[in-house]
Amino acid sequence: MRPKDQFKRRLRDLRISVTDRCNYRCPYCMPAEIFGDSYAFLPKAQICSFEEIERIARAAVSLGVRKLRVTGGEPLLRAELPKLIVQLAKIDGVEDLSLTTNGHLLAGYADALKQAGLHRVTVSLDSLDEAVAKRMSGRRFGLAPVLAGIEAAERVGLAPIKLNCVVQRGVNDHTLVDLAAHFRGTGVILRFIEYMDVGTVNGWKMDEVVPAAEVIERIGERFPLEPVAPTYPGEVANRYRYTDGAGEIGVIASVTRPFCGGCTRARLSPEGKLVTCLFASGGTDLLGPMRDGIDDDALRDLMASIWIARTDRYSEQRTEETTRDDRIEMFHIGG
């Protein structure tokens, strides 16, 4: 069974958030003034076990999913995460098993993740300027742990490594060319992401969005670029390669060039809700039915019915006047 939603989009990707906790407080995701020391994150009993995540992932693969991405929060805060990777890697039909992390703990986990069966990692890195990086992470950790994590991932072969940079005007946009210069020729692929109105607490304003076209123009002025064709249907990044052969970068233009028409992603929240859009206001509970005894066939059918009913295309409809005020926060369902 390969269900299509109401716009004939197939389910191909499942992002699995294993925790809502994070050791960073990025203002565009989890601002410290809201998510302070007293903030109540989900208790362990309310989040999916590894076995429950595996069941959902197997059902998703039976519906056509070929890519699994483990996210958070910060997924490396989930105890014994490599054990989950082992379980997911054994599922027949999974072609791409990856993890998105802020990189702070990656150096200590890279080898174990590779041995467990993880294919590659994506690391969030918004600037190589220490002061800017600290401002955007909401912490005083500095860049050293993240750079060490990237180096460790390279060493063990968690490749290709991708780096996600959220671009915010007046905050880090002046450091983009330096970031590109640093990673040119290394095999690491940069992805510049337009600042998005995910969730409701980041104070998003349209005038803080740096359009993807401007990002490409700025970098291309120093390092000439040319467009590259997508590698698969529904690829969200617009790819560009350096004309001198020094690698590639990409831009994710959810605000200025929405790609809802090709979206093949579903997301699983830590407490087992299937969410069909990054900008959704809620999801459908899978954990409750599983704990009540639903069998694998019924679980698959439930997930298929959720996808078939899907009509999401928020980014295509977005205006500053129509942004909803009930969106799920990004740290809860991954990026």
- Per-residue pLDDT, 91: 98
- Per-residue pLDDT, 201: 64
**H-state helical runs in 90-175:** 106-116, 130-137, 144-156
Beta-carbon count within 10 A of 21 CB: 19
- Per-residue pLDDT, 296: 98
- Per-residue pLDDT, 245: 97
Q: What is the pTM of this model?
A: 0.94
Residues 257-274 have pLDDT tens digits of 888 889 999 999 999 999
For the chain, list residues with pLDDT below 50: 320-322
**Contact predicate 149/101, CB 8 Å:** yes
**Contact predicate 270/73, CB 8 Å:** yes
Which residues are paired to 228 by β-bridges? Answer: 239
Q: Looking up tokens 């028409």, which residue turns up?
A: 261
Q: Looking up tokens 């302070």, which residue turns up?
A: 36
* DSSP collapsed to 3 states, 215-284: HHHHHHHHCCEEEECCCCCCCCCEEEEECCCCCEEEEECCCCCCCHHHCCEEEECCCCEEECCCCCCCCE
Q: φ and ψ at 221, to 5 degrees? A: -65, -30
- Per-residue pLDDT, 327: 62
Beta-carbon count within 10 A of 145 CB: 16
Query: Crossing angle for the helix pair 50-62 and 81-89, nearest 10 degrees?
Result: 30
- Per-residue pLDDT, 321: 45
For the chain, list the domains and their CATH numbers. 13-333 (3.20.20.70)
* DSSP letter string, 180-196: HHHHTTSS-EEEEEE--
- Per-residue pLDDT, 167: 96
Residues 282-316 have pLDDT tens digits of 899 999 999 999 999 999 999 999 999 999 887 77
- Per-residue pLDDT, 194: 93
